Amino acid sequence: MIRRLTYASLGLVLTAAAYADPEPGTDPTSDEPVRENSAAGLDAFVETAIRNGLLVRNQGVETPDQSIVEPVVSPVCSDGYPLDFSVEKSLRRFTELPAVGADDGGDVYAAFLKDLKSKLALGLYSEAKAMLVFAEGQEWQVYREFVELMDARSEPNIDYFQQLADCHEDAAFWLAVAELRGFEPDGVARIQGHIPDIRGLPHNLRQDVATQTIPTLIMQRRADIAQQVLSTFSNEEISNSTQLTALKTAIADMPNGSESDDRLVMLMSRPTLKLPALLILIERDGTLRPTIKEFALEEAWNILEQNDTKHGFEQILAFVMQNLESDNLYAGLQRVRTLPIAESDDVRAAVDRNIIESLDAYLASAEPAASLKGLKTLTQFHTSLPYDAQGNALRRRGAEIALELGLISLVEALLEPVERDEDVAGLLAQAAYWSRADDKLFDLRAAYPSLIDINRLAGIRAAQAGAAQVAAAAYADLEGEPSTQLELIEHAVLADDWALYNANVETLSGDVNLDDGLRLERVKRIHRGKTVDPQSGSARIRPYQIAPLLEASKLALSSSQAGASHE
């Protein structure tokens, strides 16, 4: 009984506020939906409730913790469909709110419900939400979920409306609205079967449904269904509403992407159309004028930084990444990584994936300047990127470029943390060879004895350094590669080390046939070097003696020319 009296008292207070004098300048003939700023105000309502003894002023009582997440409440499968607005269909203005007690037979509960649904029909979601604060019982949960859906300030509870549709077949319409608001593709086909249900809604509620569903239909390139939704309004209703006019323009311009860039920029001034217009501009990235692209980039950054949407996130992020300023690539990538939306694991993974793709495009560029910028930025980012297949492939590409440029230490820095495989081992072996890190090279050869390239590099370095055991092992592991084996012997002989030759001379001579002329000539050259008289060895010029001899010849020649000039 107390609860019913409370409902009745609250209804009287809200009705009194409803019939308060309107604010000066309000156009009573406008068909625009009535919003929260057209009411007397929540503060005035609270003060009136306190004066009537319905509420008690807060005297320092601790407020409940807003961070506590309430458990999800399943809908009550009642006999009556709770979201039937056929009685309220004629409501269009705030002044048409029914008086409390009229035609309710003194039923306080019925009066409260009638007042609540009337406010929902007018689009007064804040006022309805304030009323529901005092409504106890699970039967009111459906209206709370409905307010959250239509208020469009949080993600729609699609699961709840799915359960509600299981209870009431008519609720499938609101499930479609929730799916379209959540950018779920299932809502596109579902809403098409409920166009007559839209016609049966009150004007303001119908306009809110159109505002929330048409942008998603446009993004899905289903302007035909969007036009069906808009056709539930008369031409006069559309012309009297700026929102409906904007939706009409969007539908006319966006069915096949043939609209002008300037028109898309104009439509982006409408909050509900900003995202679909931006996504279409992103699709035209290669043909946008510089001024349009700059505007689109600014809006894309705003959406990412304000975490305005999860739909189209990948496209927007890729658009931003592809158009980062090359002069300060690191700053742009760092700005992306520090986005508030990137705090979640799934979004961070998408951010990292786009960073990897962006850097890979720079590294693969045919322009040396772009490749160097990509390599420089990679050195700053590589420890922050994931060590997965895509991230490691980027590191390998960077290491290949660094190796070509002779940046040996960078090769090791990029690849050292990466899990070893044959490709990584090959790059590390080349870096160790050119940096004369013999121990690292020999360890890699021992770890990958079947890799020809690593055995070749290790064998050459071992022959040059006099590491006979390593040279012999590399030679043995190169079985089946006679040309490479011969190369190891040549390097050993050049270093005046004949041990490898002596150990394999018989096999080497036996494997050579007359058909292999080049290799036969190489073997003969080694044999001639072996048979040279040691006493005449002083007449032989070694490779390391060539540069000093040339320098001495140059000095002698210059001296003779100077003497001739004085004669």
Coarse DSSP helix, strand, coil percentages of the chain, rounded to the nearest 5 percent: 70, 0, 30
User: Which helix H or strand E contains 167, and what residues bound it?
Assistant: helix 158-167
Distance CA 365, CA 38 (A): 58
Q: How many CA atoms lie within 13 A of 232 on its CB side?
A: 25
Q: Is the pLDDT of residue 517 over 50?
A: yes
Mean pLDDT value of segment 500-508: 73
Mean pLDDT value of segment 206-213: 88
Tell me, what's the pLDDT at 18? 43
For the chain, domain boundaries:
444-531
Q: Which residue has the higher pLDDT, 266 or 133?
A: 133
Lowest mean pLDDT segment, chosen from 144-148, 257-261, 469-473:
257-261
Tell me, what's the pLDDT at 510? 58
Nearest 10 degrees: CA dihedral of 293, 299, 301, 304? -130
Q: Is the pLDDT of residue 532 over 60?
A: no
pLDDT band at 382 (very low <50, low <70, confident <90, very high): confident
Tell me, what's the pLDDT at 542? 65
Q: Is the pLDDT of residue 308 over 70?
A: no
Hunting for tokens 């649904």 — which residue is that? 117
Q: pLDDT (tens digit, 9 = 90+) per residue, 427-471?
A: 999 999 898 888 999 999 999 988 899 989 988 888 888 888 888
Contact between 476 and 507 under an 8 Å Cβ cutoff? The reply is no
Q: pLDDT (tens digit, 9 = 90+) per residue, 325-359?
A: 766 777 788 888 788 777 777 778 888 888 888 88
For the chain, the C-alpha Rg in angstroms (whole number) is 40
Q: Is the pLDDT of residue 567 over 60?
A: no
Q: Which residue has the higher pLDDT, 57 or 260?
A: 260
Q: How far is CA 48 from CA 2, 135, 184, 228, 287, in A?
A: 19, 18, 43, 45, 60
Distance CA 174, CA 179 (A): 8
In the chain, the percentage of residues whose pLDDT exceeds 70 is: 71
Q: Is the pLDDT of residue 392 over 70?
A: yes
Lowest mean pLDDT segment, chosen from 139-153, 258-272, 356-370, 445-459:
258-272
Contact between 548 and 556 under an 8 Å Cβ cutoff? The reply is no
DSSP track, 195-209? HHHHHTS-HHHHHHH
pLDDT band at 55 (very low <50, low <70, confident <90, very high): low
Tell me, what's the pLDDT at 27? 45
Contact between 31 and 152 under an 8 Å Cβ cutoff? The reply is no
**Tokens of residue 324, six digits:** 């980062």
pTM over 0.75: no
Q: Is the pLDDT of residue 4 over 60?
A: no
Nearest 10 degrees: CA dihedral of 531, 533, 534, 535? 180
Mean pLDDT value of segment 167-176: 88
Q: Which residue has the higher pLDDT, 542 or 142?
A: 142
Q: Which residue has the higher pLDDT, 412 or 257?
A: 412
First to last CA, the chain: 135
Query: Comparing C-alpha atoms, which of 379, 335, 328 is closest to residue 354?
Result: 335
HEC-encoded secondary structure of 208-231? HHHHHHHHHHHHCCCHHHHHHHHC
Query: Comparing C-alpha atoms, which of 476, 432, 418 is closest to residue 452?
Result: 476
Which amino acid makes up residue 322?
Answer: Q
